[in-house]
Amino acid sequence: MKNYKIAVIPGDGTGTEVINEGLKVLEAVAKKCAFKYETVTYDFGGDRYLRTKEVLPESAVDELKTFDTIYLGAIGHPDVKPGILEKGILLKLRFDLDQYINLRPVQLYDERFCPLKTKKPEDIDFVVVRENSEGLYKGMGEFKDKGTPNEIATQISHNTRKGVERCIRYAFEYTKKFGKKKRLTLCGKINVLTYAWDLWERTYYEVAKEYPEIETDYAHVDATTMWFVKNPEWFDVIVTDNMFGDIITDLGAMIQGGMGLAAGGNINPQGVSMFEPIGGSAPKYTGKNIINPLAAICSLAMLLQELGEEKAATMIENSAKTVVKTKLKSLAAGKMGYSTSEVGDLVVENLQPINEVLDAKI
Ligand code: IPM
Ligand code: MN
């Protein structure tokens, strides 16, 4: 029997509450799918930082490398200046563990929760492959004459051929394997950012030659946000850089019904990946048992998929869908008609027996 080693980082704010529901679902699904796991919980986050003045212990990255996967809640604390925890924990782990893909599915489960008037679940069902290790997030740049009237601040988007190519290759492979329309859209800004996007475009069309079965497609990032609202049904898989991916996936989260459902994974296909709901730590909802845990639960499904536990992943996704469709009044915190822990219980109750799952993919 497989035995997975899972590092758990609940993090800040509502992180703990949503991760607890995820772990509840994990326990149930492990029994049904006959695998074992061990968890080790780490207290990285704002409270630890305020207590110890240390953002992340020296040993953290090396220790995390010994796990099969990482399950993370949320990072961000109202008493800590913005940037410290995000850069010191979240981005540091993404970079140091070389999780160069940020995979973010956008799927509408129920049209009741879509802010777009005429769109149905079949219209909103795509995946964003966000480059996760380079671009503007690299943190390159400088101040000149800081604090003077002549101040200049430069922020560099750093794109390497190797970094761009591995991301684009992943996206083509992903489209080949999972794309429903076999269409991969490159989302960029070739008309203005003529260095970075020249490299991206050249690389994309070179790699595309190896995938004749995949339809190529390009959209400027500004137009992409327009299409998300007007014609989201066009999209299948989208590949883009770190900054654009960050922005368009928040819009993606909204059209699928909100942050309550938005799951994501920071993936190193050759190493240790880390799965997290894409919403933040939501301080104002913390400790009230009202936050929606489904984004964390769906992130757990992605985690299991990456570990190769495909049946378990499908069981969780199907159950989450059923709960959204048949139980919830809203996907928003405090308005679901159920508490955080009740939603976790509902997902457990609606897990279908393993042998029925593969025939009955909802
Ligand atoms: C995200 C978040 C992070 C990002 C922040 C918290 C650093 O917005 O995961 O999308 O910008 O990547
Ligand atoms: Mn973001």
Which SS3 state, helix, strand or coil, does residue 3 take?
strand
| 300 within domain boundaries | yes
pLDDT the model gives residue 358: 55
Same domain, 272 and 228: no
Last residue of a domain, one of 236, 255, 274: 255
Tell me what pLDDT residue 353 has. 80
Give pLDDT, residue 360.
Answer: 52
Q: Which residue's alpha carbon is at the smallest distance from atom 12 of ligand 1?
A: 246
Length of the chain: 362
Establish whether residue 90 lines the binding site of ligand 1, counting it when its CB lies within 6 angstroms of any ligand atom: yes
Q: Where does 146-262 show beta strands of DSSP type E?
A: 152-158, 183-188, 215-220, 237-240
Based on the fold, state whether residues 5 and 31 are members of the same structural domain. yes
For residues 248 and 280, state if they share a domain.
Answer: no
Q: 123 CB under 6 A from ligand 1?
A: no
Dump pLDDT digits (tens) for 207-223: 999 999 999 999 999 99
Residue 313 lies in a domain: yes
Query: Quick check: CB of 333 below 6 Å from ligand 1?
Result: no
Identify the domain boundary among 222, 255, 288: 255
Which of 255, 284, 299 represents a domain boundary (last residue)?
A: 255
Do 214 and 273 lie in one domain? The reply is no
Shared domain for 95 and 129, answered yes or no, is no
Q: How far apart are CA 36 and CA 39, in angstroms?
A: 10
The pTM assigned to this predicted structure is 0.96
Q: How far apart are CA 64 and CA 66, in angstroms?
A: 5
In angstroms, what is the span from residue 35 Cα to ligand 1's centroid?
32
246 & 130 share domain? yes
Residue 225 CA to residue 252 CA, distance in Å, equals 9
- In a domain, residue 114? The reply is no
**Does residue 176 sit in the same domain as residue 217?**
yes
Range of the domain at 57: 1-100+262-362
Could you tell me if 58 and 91 lie in one domain?
yes
Q: How far is CA 273 from the centre of its chain?
A: 11
- Structure letter (DSSP) for residue 91: I
Instruction: Give residue 356's pLDDT.
Output: 56
| Residue 2 in domain | yes
Domain count of the fold of the chain: 2
Shared domain for 151 and 50, answered yes or no, is no
120 part of a folded domain: no
Among 227, 214, 217, 232, CA closest to 122: 232
CATH number at residue 304: 3.40.718.10
Are residues 170 and 59 both part of a single domain? no
- Gap between the terminal Cα atoms of the chain: 28
Report if residue 107 sits inside a domain: no
Rg of the chain over Cα atoms, rounded to whole angstroms, equals 20
Name the residue of 246, 247, 250, 276 to mutate for ligand 1: max ligand atoms within 8 A of Cβ.
246
- 10 and 65 both lie in a single domain: yes
| 218 in any annotated domain | yes
Tell me, yes or no, whether 166 and 228 share the same domain: yes
Query: In 3-state terms, what secondary structure has residue 258?
Result: coil
Distance of alpha carbon 343 from the chain centroid: 20
In this prediction, the residues of the chain whose per-residue pLDDT falls under 70 are 354-362
CB-based contacts of 90-93 (< 8 A; 24+ apart in sequence): 91/137, 92/55, 92/56, 92/61, 93/56, 93/60, 93/61, 93/64, 93/266, 93/274
Buried b (16+ CB within 10 A) or exposed e, 202-235: ebbeebbeebeebebbbbbbeebbebbeeebebb
- Residue 284 has what DSSP assignment? G
- Residue 67 belongs to some domain of the structure: yes
Residue 317 structure tokens: 């996704």
